[in-house]
Amino acid sequence: MALFKWKNHDIEDVEVDLLLHAMLLRYGYDFSGYARASLKRRLLDLTRYFDVKHLSDLLSVMLYDEAVAQTVINSISVPTSEFFRDPSVWKEVRKTILPALDSFPWINIWQVGCGRGEEVYTLAILLHESGLLNKTRIYATDINPAFLQEAKNGVWSSRHLRSWRENYRNSGGEWDFDRYFGPHGDDIAIREDLKKSIEFIQHNLVEDDVFKEMQFVVCRNVLIYFGMALQERVLHLLSRSLERGGYLLLGHSERIIDLHENHPDLDQLDNSSQAYHKVITRHV
């Protein structure tokens, strides 16, 4: 007679749950609210990277080896970005949002999920060209300390320059894009004066709260990795961090259908934009 009545659970899902729980208990990172399909795919990719047969084979190694744990964190939170990615978005920021921000005596900007820094330095370039950088503080945050250090260093391969120049021109840039970089061996490094207004901070959207009142929050292509419950929690956090009259910018793929219903104080600028303006809450 069988001692156990087996439940019909996919063994890979059980392994994912065990690894996520261990990550939370051992290192304090809670990835349980992330979109399941994407999360599972990335974790299973690690079995090939570490040449193990099962994800559970990685569990004990991860618990005792912080370098392995960091690799797991990097795999889950891997950033994908480039300078002036989605140029039409930055063209709208130039045209609509930055002139409106100029009305504030001081501008705080939160760049959420800054990754390796391309987007936060995109913001710095835009603010410089708009004459606003000297009265702005940019708080660039990420869950991943390794990516934060890379962003702070501001060094990339020069092979990206051609596509970044094109993005810059298509965003309405009229200056010489290359002037914002200097040589760094075979690579390129962002100009030091563009770093002065940026503060890099480790921040976990799942665990941490609002840390400053902001006039502009940029959170592009972060929510797409979260499940619906975590998306709503993070949107509430971002909305609470915004001053009345401030702006929120999401990614093109992050079309939250019921955003306005759950956040009536956020007005979408136009139907094609993922930019929102925080207004006085309407009373029905």
Question: pLDDT tens across 83-122, in order?
Answer: 999 999 999 999 999 999 999 999 999 999 999 999 999 9
Per mean pLDDT, which range of 120-134, 200-214, 247-261 is the poorest?
247-261
Most confident of 68-77, 92-101, 233-242: 92-101
* Token pair for 210: 């609002």
Task: Domain ranges for the chain, please list them.
Answer: 11-76, 87-278
Which amino acid is located at 221 in the chain? N
Q: Could you give the 3-state DSSP secondary structure of residue 189?
A: strand
Task: Name which of 141, 168, 160 is nearest 152 in CA terms.
Answer: 141
Considering only residues 134 and 271, tell me which one the structure prediction assigns the higher pLDDT. Answer: 134
Per the prediction, the chain carries an average pLDDT of 87
Is residue 161's pLDDT more than 60? Answer: yes
Q: What is the pLDDT of residue 32?
A: 82
Please give the order of strands across the beta sheet that includes 107-112. 198-202, 136-142, 107-112, 214-219, 242-250, 275-278, 266-268
Q: How far is CA 187 from its chain centroid?
A: 24
Residues 151, 117: contact at Cβ < 8 Å? yes
CATH class for domain 87-278?
alpha beta
Question: pLDDT tens across 132-145, in order?
Answer: 999 999 999 998 88
Is residue 35's pLDDT more than 90? Answer: no
Residues 165, 177: contact at Cβ < 8 Å? yes
What count of other Cβ atoms lies within 10 Å of the Cβ of residue 256? 17
How far, in Å, CA of 186 to CA of 55, rounded?
Answer: 38
Query: How far is CA 173 from each of CA 103, 189, 198, rounded to the nearest angstrom?
Result: 22, 19, 21
Q: Where are the beta strands (DSSP E) in 117-264?
A: 136-142, 155-157, 181-184, 187-190, 198-202, 214-219, 242-250
